[in-house]
């Protein structure tokens, strides 16, 4: 399919941010977006890159009522020599389609996704910030747009990609997070849509997250919804514990988001010769290891931060310091190695990096 490109007139272009230390996350959008429509019977049609604009959306559009709404999160990175890289984009594209299948939405041709993404990022390349740790965040989104009430899969969808220049996650260096183990509320249940980047999952997480914030914690550590015994994820990131010499992360049981960073951490740690287990990890085992002093590291993984060290865990009225509140060596090493691969500063033995310019 041909992607039509209609660029904004020079007078329509936005002012680019000048102070990259003030970028923050998710508040600034570039001049253009990629958009393509789906109609049952016709398939995907009318792909274009156009000036960023509001969407025409009927008040009865099904995404506004029944939640067929999915998204992805990925980044474009600028190297020191001005090369532009993506990180494992095929995994995000496959995950978008896995989410689409589970929510009975239209899947998208991976080549069209990739072409739209690449052309858009290249058109907006001057928006990719330059300072260390900054990047261009990419948000592919798909929404059900059929105008109809009544619960059934929509016959029409919009797929679009918007871009945000984002600041460095750790401008002042690593800061360990305090996490709150939620016993009352759960994020997702096996058999549900926890493995999808489906909008409703995030709405469902807000209540517990607000409660944790009011109590002074950064994130919620979610437990499994059935026994409330095993750790699942932290906030919108995957979780890892290094206990003795075993790096442990929960298995992809259906309620956990299969993070691209999670998979990269697992591969990299195995490449270094570490023992990595994808297995159930209970709070009992964690508290036991804490009592024995064998928790050597704990971190969350995700595209936004790469890895984020956990300094403290709150569970059943008690606080447990991890590794005496110090940032683990493994967290630091993973952060540096993955970041250097993403920014083209190091060989990429895994073939993760995709150079687009």
Ligand X SMILES: *Cc1c(COP(=O)(O)O)cnc(C)c1O
Q: List residues near ligand X by CB under 6 A.
A: 73, 197, 233, 236-238, 257, 259-262, 301-303
Is the CB of 135 or the CB of 261 nearer to ligand X? 261
Q: How far is the CB of 88 from ligand X (least distance, A)?
A: 9
d(CA 261, CA 335) in angstroms, rounded, equals: 11
Q: How far is the CB of 98 from ligand X (least distance, A)?
A: 12
Is the CB of 220 or the CB of 286 nearer to ligand X? 220
Count helices and strands (H / E) in the chain. 7, 18
Is the CB of 28 or the CB of 196 nearer to ligand X? 196
CA quadruple 128, 30, 357, 271: dihedral, nearest 10: 60
Q: What is the CA radius of gyration of the chain?
A: 21
CA distances to 50, 289, 330 from 323, in Å: 50, 11, 12
Q: How far is the CB of 257 from ligand X (least distance, A)?
A: 3
d(CA 10, CA 78) in angstroms, rounded, equals: 24
Is the CB of 116 or the CB of 194 nearer to ligand X? 194
Q: Of 172, 125, 119, which is closest to residue 16 (Cα–Cα)?
A: 125
Q: How far is the CB of 357 from ligand X (least distance, A)?
A: 23
Q: Which residues pair with 275 in a beta bridge?
A: 246
Q: For strand 43-51 and strand 4-5, is the pairing parallel, antiparallel, or unpaired? A: parallel
Is the CB of 140 or the CB of 145 nearer to ligand X? 140
Sign of CA dihedral 212, 214, 215, 218: positive
Q: How far is the CB of 71 from ligand X (least distance, A)?
A: 9
d(CA 347, CA 341) in angstroms, rounded, equals: 7
Q: How far is the CB of 73 from ligand X (least distance, A)?
A: 5
Is the CB of 140 or the CB of 259 nearer to ligand X? 259
d(CA 107, CA 140) in angstroms, rounded, equals: 13
Residue linked to tokens 């360990």: 176
Is the CB of 47 or the CB of 306 nearer to ligand X? 306
Q: How far is the CB of 186 from ligand X (least distance, A)?
A: 13
């Amino acid at each position: 399919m041909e992607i039509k490109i209609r660029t904004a007139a020079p007078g329509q272009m936005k002012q680019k941010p000048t102070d990259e230390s003030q970028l923050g996350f998710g508040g600034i959008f570039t001049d253009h977006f990629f958009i393509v429509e789906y109609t049952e019977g016709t398939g995907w049609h009318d792909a274009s890159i156009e000036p960023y604009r509001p969407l025409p959306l009927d008040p009865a559009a099904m995404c506004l009522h029944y939640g067929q709404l999915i998204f992805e999160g990925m980044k474009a990175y600028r190297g020191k020599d001005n090369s532009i890289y993506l990180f494992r984009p095929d995994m995000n594209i496959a995950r978008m389609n896995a989410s689409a299948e589970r929510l009975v939405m239209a899947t998208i041709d991976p080549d069209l996704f990739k072409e739209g993404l690449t052309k858009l990022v290249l058109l907006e390349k001057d928006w990719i910030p330059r300072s260390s740790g900054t990047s261009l965040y990419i948000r592919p989104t798909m929404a059900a747009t059929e105008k109809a009430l009544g619960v059934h899969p929509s016959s029409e969808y919009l797929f679009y990609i918007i871009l945000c220049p984002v600041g460095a996650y750790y401008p002042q260096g690593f800061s360990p997070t305090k996490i709150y183990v939620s016993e009352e509320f759960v994020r997702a249940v096996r058999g549900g849509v926890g493995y999808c980047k489906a909008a409703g999952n995030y709405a469902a997480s807000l209540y517990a997250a607000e409660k944790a914030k009011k109590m002074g914690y950064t994130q919620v550590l979610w437990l499994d919804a059935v026994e409330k015994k095993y750790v699942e994820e932290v906030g919108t990131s995957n979780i890892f514990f290094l206990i003795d010499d075993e790096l442990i992360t929960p298995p992809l049981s259906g309620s956990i988001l299969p993070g691209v960073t999670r998979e990269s951490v697992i591969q990299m740690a195995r490449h270094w010769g570490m023992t990595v287990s994808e297995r159930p990890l209970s709070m009992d085992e964690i508290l036991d290891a804490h009592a024995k002093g064998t928790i050597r590291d704990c971190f969350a993984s995700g595209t936004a931060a790469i890895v984020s060290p956990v300094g403290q865990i709150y569970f059943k009225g008690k606080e447990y310091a991890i590794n005496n509140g110090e940032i683990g060596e493994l967290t630091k090493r993973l952060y540096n190695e993955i970041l250097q691969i993403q920014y083209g500063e190091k060989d990429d033995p895994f073939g993760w990096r995709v150079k687009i310019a």
